[in-house]
Amino acid sequence: MMRFGLGLTLTAALLASPAFAQQWRAIPGAPAGSLSVDTSSIKRDGAWRVFRTRAIASKSSVMLGLMAADCKAGVIEFRAQRAYKDGKLVKERTFPVAQRPKQKVANPSNDALLKLVCTG
């Protein structure tokens, strides 16, 4: 239980990092400005690369996420999400380890998100 609490604390800290430390880079192939990764947030966590994402649905609607990628396996995992509307937090979700949604990438070597997160 202590480990779960620590995970929630770390997730909240990553999502709430100061704006001046962020370096957002758009994902090639995504609609203009709709999906980007904070390259300054990419960190190793065992086999995973953990990073922050930003999805912009409209001028007033933004989704920030904490995701992880297993570069070798070609799997992307969702760890936490925050939705904002007109600058106000409207929804927040943190996924427990056993319930984190995962997505197997069909062609990892050609996936723009994996290329950005897994290189370097």
- What CATH number does the domain containing 30 carry? 2.40.128
Side-chain half-sphere exposure of 104, counting CA atoms within 13 A: 2
pLDDT of residue 4: 47
Beta-carbon neighbour count of residue 87 at 10 Å? Answer: 7
**Could you tell me the residue range of the domain that residue 9 belongs to?**
2-118
Q: What is the mean pLDDT of each run of 10 residues along the chain (120 residues)?
A: 47 49 87 86 95 92 96 96 96 96 93 90
Token pair belonging to 67: 């995701």
Q: Which residue has the tokens 């966590």?
A: 45
Total number of domains constituting the chain: 1
- Residue 97 to residue 120: CA distance in whole angstroms: 26
pLDDT of residue 32: 65
Q: What is each CA distance from 20 to 23, 38, 47, in whole angstroms? A: 8, 11, 28
pLDDT of residue 33: 66
